[in-house]
Amino acid sequence: MTIEALAVVIPARNESALIARCLHSVQRAIDHLRAHSPAPAPSVSVVVVLDSCSDNTAELVRSFGGVEVIEIDAASVGVARSVGVASALTGSGMDPRRTWVANTDADSTVPPQWLAEQLRLADAGADVVVGTVSPELTDLSDDLVTAWTRLRARRSAAGHVHGANLGFRGSSYLSSGGFRPEAVHEDVNLVARFTAISAAVCNSLDIDVETSGRRANRVPGGYASYLHDGILLGASLSDDLTG
């Protein structure tokens, strides 16, 4: 079913250093979609959910025209994503079956073809698109860069789930029960529920999103833990031993 409305949802918590770069990349993806759409492009909205921000993230986001800003105080990425998607689906005024929600994070940058490729897959029958994520290598030590490079050479499309690169049809999201108020793994658990309701899940290597490789964790067990707490190095070693 052809997508007629598209929303980009971005949760943010004290991201004044990176949010502008993220929003610029999203705008490039919107421009690319409009320039390369073979049919009239869908309506597009951008929703940023500011969760427990104490810096000037809000001021920076509001300097971008056409961005909906929602402020909450939940300190939960699951809640932030849920609030953002709910607003996007309500605001579109479209049939949820024809509405697509693309999710990323405030410390990430999306490629120009990010939205166009998600909609291509949606029009081909996908209800969910799970994309890959790569860290900024300049944020990593030499040994971590080596480990990441080894793993990247062998990764398949059916890899990890990242909220920084996840899109879905509005109707499938509603049927799944949506994001839950979880502080971590809200994205992984949502995709598991998509699978449980037999939504058509497509894994893609073609829309890799670059995300911060920072050491500081915003949530326990988050991406920073994977990169810097020995998990990445362990996975690389295991891959070398079994590959």
Mean pLDDT of 155-181: 90
Q: Do the domain assignments include residue 243?
A: no
Average pLDDT, the chain: 88
pLDDT of the residue at 213: 61
Q: How many residues does the chain have?
A: 243
Distance CA 150, CA 208 (A): 17
Distance CA 142, CA 48 (A): 34
Residue 233 has pLDDT above 60, yes or no: no
Q: Do the domain assignments include residue 141?
A: no
Distance CA 185, CA 100 (A): 21
Instruction: Tell me how many degrees the CA angle 40-45-50 measures, rounded to the nearest 5.
Output: 165
In degrees to the nearest 10, what's the CA dihedral of 74, 171, 160, 31? -90
pLDDT of the residue at 241: 34
Mean pLDDT of 211-223: 64
pLDDT of the residue at 79: 98
What is the extent of the structural domain holding 102? 5-134+157-211
| 239/100: higher pLDDT | 100
Q: Do the domain assignments include residue 191?
A: yes
Q: What is the CATH number of the domain that holds 185?
A: 3.90.550.10
Q: Do the domain assignments include residue 219?
A: no
Question: Do residues 4 and 94 lie in contact, with contact meaning Cβ atoms separated by under 8 Å?
Answer: yes
Instruction: Tell me how many degrees the CA angle 53-59-64 measures, rounded to the nearest 5.
Output: 120
pLDDT of the residue at 239: 47
Q: Do the domain assignments include residue 94?
A: yes
Q: Do the domain assignments include residue 226?
A: no
Q: Do the domain assignments include residue 146?
A: no
